[in-house]
């Protein structure tokens, strides 16, 4: 699929550990631009840091309201592993997941969600809602926010600015 993420070094900051994977997610997000989809990309890493699933928004391309980058990446990772439980895996996504994607991450049992840009309008991993830390759920992934946030945010800001320009 893609190059594996480099292993974390002993003294590395958590953000640095996931920068390579976030750049892979950003590459997926840029591919969404070709179909007019909102440029969001995601990758799923196995416990060793290898990419086992990747996705980008495909709602416009497919007409599927559930074709968010995270859902597609989770589906592909599960297909590759041959099971729905993604225990030990990390979801890396360029934009804070919405309620659907946060819920899918919890249900897939990912250990960690790493995201880039904060989504104050629809984010469900701490901004508007906090689905993944709800104590009523039986699984709560670790969250690492704002990895390469300026780069992730700029891609989205540019996309929406171009759509608003007459």
Check the annotation: does 98 bind a ligand.
yes
Which positions are annotated as active-site residues? 70
CATH level 3 topology of 15-164: Cytidine Deaminase; domain 2 (3.40.140)
Domain spans of the chain, in order of start: 15-164
**Is 152 known to sit in a ligand binding site?**
no
Q: Give the model confidence (pLDDT) of 85-124 as tens digits.
A: 999 999 999 999 999 999 999 999 999 999 999 999 999 9
pTM metric for this prediction: 0.90
Please spell the DSSP secondary structure of the chain, one letter per residue: --PPPPPPPTT--HHHHTHHHHHHHHHHHHHHGGGT----EEEEE-TTS-EEEEEE--HHHH--TT--HHHHHHHHHHHHHTSS--TT-EEEEEE---HHHHHHHHHHT-SEEEEEE--TTT-TBTTS-BGGG-TTSS---EEE--TTHHHHHHHHHHHHHHHH--
Is 20 annotated for ligand binding?
no
């Amino acid at each position: 699929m893609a190059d594996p993420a480099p292993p974390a070094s002993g003294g590395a900051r958590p953000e640095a550990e996931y920068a390579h994977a976030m750049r892979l997610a950003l590459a997926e997000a840029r591919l969404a631009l070709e179909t007019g989809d909102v440029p969001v990309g995601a990758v799923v890493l196995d416990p060793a840091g290898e990419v086992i699933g990747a996705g980008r928004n495909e709602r416009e391309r497919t007409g599927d309201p559930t074709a968010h980058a995270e859902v597609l990446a989770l589906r592909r990772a599960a297909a590759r592993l041959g099971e729905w439980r993604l225990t030990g895996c990390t979801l890396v996504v360029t934009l804070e997941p919405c309620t659907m994607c946060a819920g899918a991450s919890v249900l897939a049992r990912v250990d960690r969600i790493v995201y880039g840009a904060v989504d104050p309008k629809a984010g469900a991993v701490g901004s508007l809602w906090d689905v993944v830390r709800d104590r009523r759920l039986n699984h709560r992934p670790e969250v690492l926010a704002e990895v390469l946030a300026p780069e992730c945010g700029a891609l989205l800001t540019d996309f929406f600015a171009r759509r608003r320009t007459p």
